[in-house]
Every structure is written in structure tokens, then in C-alpha cells.
Amino acid sequence: MNAKKLVKKLRLSDGDFAAIESAVRQAELRTNGEIALAATSESSDYSFHELLASVILGALAFAAMIPLYGQIAALIGRMFWHESAWFFPAFYGAACFAVIAIFFLIANIPAIDRLIIPAASRRRAVYYRALRHFVESGVYSTKERNGILIFISYMEREVRIIADVGISSKIGQDEWDAVAKKVAAGVGTGKLGDALVDAVGHCGELLAKHFPVEKENPNELADGLVILGGRE
């Protein structure tokens, strides 16, 4: 899924992006903390799980065809004047391969992926992808180690908030989990823009309590929501 399609799926408008960026800017005026936001279509390609499910389905198709040998033989007999000995194994092999190939293609549909990929694998993938962006975007390297990342992974339907050590030592994870749930609800209701604006405001209030603004308050990270299109 490319970035443009992801934005459409998240139902975000240009006005939403502007409102989110403004909310981050306003929140950071009250604190030395930094707030970053990012969204991706999915946190992993999950190829192993998709291929495994496809092979299992192919094996089930093979097992289902075994009792139908008589009907399949009669069908091949009507199609060809002469049946070679290799026709039957070739037919079975081709049919199983077709099932595997077709299912592997349709497994990229998010609803199918969520059915075949274990929940624990999805959660782990989102955490590691969020952590990777936390590092790559520089959230981890703020001067006072007081940056946070709000990370949305669409296919997995999960929101993660990662706080740097300067913040996590002062604000409990329960606070961030509550904010993450509200953002996730915004995705589900098609009001992600409003949910992110509210989340940024709440995060700004939490940061202002522990990291109030000082004379020097440089903007160390880009404001606004970053869209990470495609399989990252």
C-alpha cells in the first residue's frame, strides 16, 4: 500500500495534516519535550506467515482431491483421447500449486492477513517497526531525552507510543496506553485527524508538567504526521 492509498484509508484530509502540525507546534511551545507522529500501512511483510498458510491450504486441497480420484479421472478421460500416466500427478500438482499461488496473492488483503498472522507476531512487528522509526527519525536523540513517538500501523490496527528514557522515568506507561487507545478509536471511527489533535494536546500537557519550557526551546524534530508508505 503506497502513501497516497494509506492516507485515503486513514481518511485524512489536507486540513487534518495542517491541524495536526499546528497542534504539535502549539503543544511544544509549552514544553521542552518533542512530539513525533508516524503512520505506516503495515509493520512487516509477513511473507513467512502468508507462505505457510498458502502451503497448508495447498496441502488441504490435495487431501480433498484424493477421494475424488474417480471423478477427476473421468473428467480427464473426456478431455483427452489418450491419457498418459503422468497426467494425474501433473494435474494434482498443478491444482495444488494454483491454490498456493492464488492464496499467496490474496493474502496481502489486510483482512486476510489479520486472520492468518498470529496476534503476538503482529504486536511484535509493530513494536520493532515503531522502535526503528524512533531511532531513524531522531526521536531518541533529543537533548534532554524527552521525545515521544505516536506510531500507527494500519493493517495491524495498532497504535504504539514510545517515550524516551527521560520521559518514561517520570510518566507511567498507563498514561501512554490510554492515549493510544483514543487514537486507535479515531482510526476505527474515521476521525483520526481529530483524535491525533486531541492526543497531541494531551501529550503536551503531560510533557509540560515534567519538562516545562525554558529560555532555550529549540524545535529538534519535524512537526506533523509522517506517512511511511509501502512495506517498510
CA 134/CA 137 separation, integer angstroms: 6
What is the separation, in whole angstroms, between the first and last Cα of the chain?
10
Classify domain 3-45+118-231 at the CATH class level.
alpha beta
What pLDDT, on a 0 to 100 scale, did the predictor assign at position 146? 81
Question: Residue 210 has what pLDDT?
Answer: 83
The pLDDT value given to residue 98: 92
Give residue 129's pLDDT: 93
Which residues, given as ranges, of the chain have pLDDT below 70? 80-86, 215-220, 229-232
Q: Which residue is listed with cell 485527524? A: 193
Domain chopping of the chain, boundaries: 3-45+118-231, 47-115
Tell me whether strands 158-163 and 147-153 are parallel, antiparallel or unpaired.
Answer: antiparallel
